[in-house]
Structure 1
Amino acid sequence: MILIKDRISITDLARLRNVTTETLRHYDRIGLFKPTYVDPKTGYRYYSVLQYEKLGTIKELRQLGMSLKEIKEYFNNRHVTKSLSILTNKHEELKEKIKDLQLLEETLSEKIEFLRNVIAESKMKEIMIKQIPEREIITFGKAINNEIELSYGFLHLENTLEEISPILASNRLGFIISKSDIESCEFNKSSDIFVFTKSPNQINKKNIQKIKAGKYACIYNSGKPWDREESIKKLLQFIHYNHYIIDGDFIEIAQVDITVTDIVEEECFEIQVPIKNSIDT
């Protein structure tokens, strides 16, 4: 090591503190950590061993997640009360980040679990009877006649949601297919589109509707959402054969969609029909 009257070369200080020489040059340029002496002929920087504490503190503050701007403020008229305040504020920021990360982890976990389950369940082509609780949807009551209107419609719906990643790998978006259209054999017509809401208090009440709880006959349908005629006919045959009565509009819910696949054959929707026993009428 070259030591001349307590002068440590930039290379040696970098090695002593396990930082790069470029880091030290940058700290000098921004006025955070300046050398005690600069050779006027060579421009070479020299530091004092007495500066070891400041450089070590800078490293530790960086490890605590502080920006260089925050660190410069930390060293501006430093005293213990100010240092405590800065560290306390940084701790509060960290706790908020941890909360955000926990929410993000929970959201990702839910999406992974959903995709695993729906991939397995969607392979089953038989009709299932499900008891489904009441659900709330956001809908603007607009009929959809083509893909352009569909895109604008879903865009409008998604913009109402103030959540982390509400649509990707989820079953939140869907179509309402009116009972009267089914009875008229207009299987590919959708009277409305909707999104399930988790926070109805944030939405204009006039755009909230309830889908009643009850018994539903359900079938998975592959392909585009309007390629549903064959599946709906299967549902109608099942309902008739088992002496059920259709008890409201059909709904079609995206399960595997373009947020997770580019392959049309992998897209999958679940058609749900509210039913009741004929003896209940």
Structure 2
Amino acid sequence: MKEKLSIGEFAKLRNITTETLRYYDRINLLKPIKVDPKTGYRYYSILQYEELGTIKELRQLGMSIDEIKKYFNDRNLKQSVDILKYKHEELKNKIKELQQLDKNITEKINHLENISKISNLEDIVIKEIKERKIITFDKSLNNEIELSYECLQLENSLKEIAPIVGSNRYGTIRKQENIKFNKHTKSIVMFIFIKDKENINEIYIKKIPKGTYACMYYKGNVWNIDFNLKKIIEYIEKKNYRVCGDIIQIIQIDVSVTDQSEEELFEIQIPIKKC
């Protein structure tokens, strides 16, 4: 039961390192009561246990060193409550972010696991698909450079946590008239499916209408779609349907999760109606 403790003894009381105490000394957060002028050894008072404990807990609350210094400056009840309320709001926002991140990661894992099990690649199927909201700048893109800048702008418009990696939210649009009149189909419009309209300019939000779609998965890339497009249009005509809207291409597996080109996966979706 002694009043003066060595740095090692004092650190052990609060289960921290001696280097942490040396750091607190250097930044004038918690000074020892004595430093031996010959040896440089630091000594602390047992009466400082409360201050060190408070510092440790405030660090656990996520306070920065500057915030902790402010906390100790002319401490009073109102100031302490105000600071704790502020940190509480920060914590609640962080929890909200982590919950959103957890949801996003779960969706990504489910998508990638489900899409990797698809065995009927290049089989054409008819699907009923609900209305979907997208954000697009409606720019006609003709090469990888233009596409890269467009993707960057689209992603920057989203106010979400980790929205793109491992997801199937990117897509392209090829205008129906280009297909109908056999025009060159390389030009595309890029879009991202949106989950939340918040903070997105309404003029950039559009809808892909619900309806019946002829769909087909294929492996390749965004640009080389003509062979598969011809195949699916022939199927549509054979089944006595007609194309009734723009051609949608969904990027199901992309370079955000693989650098193996043979693993990249795309889906063509073409809106159709009975003739």
TM-score where L is the length of structure 2: 0.89
Equivalent residues of 2:129, 2:212 under 8 A apart: yes
CA–CA separation in structure 2 for the residues paired with 1:81 and 1:147: 58
Do structure 1's residue 251 and structure 2's residue 248 form an aligned pair? yes
* Separation (CA, whole Å) in 2 of partners of 1:47 and 1:201: 53
Structure 2 residue corresponding to 1:151, chosen from 148, 153, 156? 148
- Verify the 8 A CA contact 2:58 2:68 in the aligned structure 1: yes
Distance 1:80 1:248, change over 3 A: closer
The equivalent of 1:237 in structure 2 is 234
Q: How many residues align?
A: 275
Q: Which has the larger radius of gyration?
A: 1
SS at match of 2:151: helix
CA change 1:186–1:261 in 2 (3 A) is: farther
Equivalent in 50, 62, 65 of residue 62 of structure 2: 65
What secondary structure is seen at the aligned counterpart in 2 of 1:60? helix
* Partner of residue 130 from structure 1, selected from 123, 127, 132: 127
Matched position secondary structure for 1:32: coil
Tell me which of 19, 24, 30 is aligned to 1:22.
19
Aligned to 2:92: 95
Percent of aligned positions that are identical: 55
1:100-138 CA-to-partner distances (Å, cap 9, x unmatched) read 111111111111111112222375431111111222333
Deviations 1:212-257 (A, max 9, x none): 2110000011111222223222212221221111112211111111
Q: Structure 1: how far apart are the matches of 2:203 and 2:89?
A: 39
Which amino acid counterpart does residue 110 of structure 2 have in structure 1? Answer: E
State the alpha-carbon separation in 1 of the partners of residues 83 and 142 from structure 2: 58
8 Å contact kept, 1:135–1:212: yes
Structure 2: which 5+ residue stretches go unaligned? none
1:37 aligned onto 2:34: yes
What are the Cα deviations for residues 191-210 of structure 1, in whole angstroms up to 9, with x where unaligned? 42222233446444443433
Residue 172 (structure 2) pairs with residue 182 (structure 1): no
Name the CA shift for 1:172/1:17 in 2 (closer, same or farther; >3 Å): closer
**Range that drifts further, 235-244 or 134-143:** 134-143
Partner-residue secondary structure (3-state), 1:71: helix
Question: How is 1:81-120 mapped onto 2 (pairs within 5 angstroms)?
Answer: 81-120=78-117
Q: CA RMSD in A?
A: 2.3
SS of structure 2 residue aligned to 1:121: coil
C-alpha distance 188-261 of structure 1, shift in aligned 2 (>3 A): farther
- Report if aligned partners of 1:36, 1:47 keep a CA contact under 8 Å in 2: yes
CA shift, 1:139, in A, is 2.9
Q: Is the 8 A contact 2:101 2:162 kept in 1?
A: no
**2:176 touches 2:246 (CA, 8 Å); kept in 1?**
yes
Question: Does the residue aligned with 2:117 lie in a helix, a strand or coil?
Answer: helix
Tell me the amino acid that sits aligned with residue 126 of structure 2: I
Q: Contact (CA 8 Å) 1:175, 1:251: kept in 2 or not?
A: yes
Partner of 1:276: 273
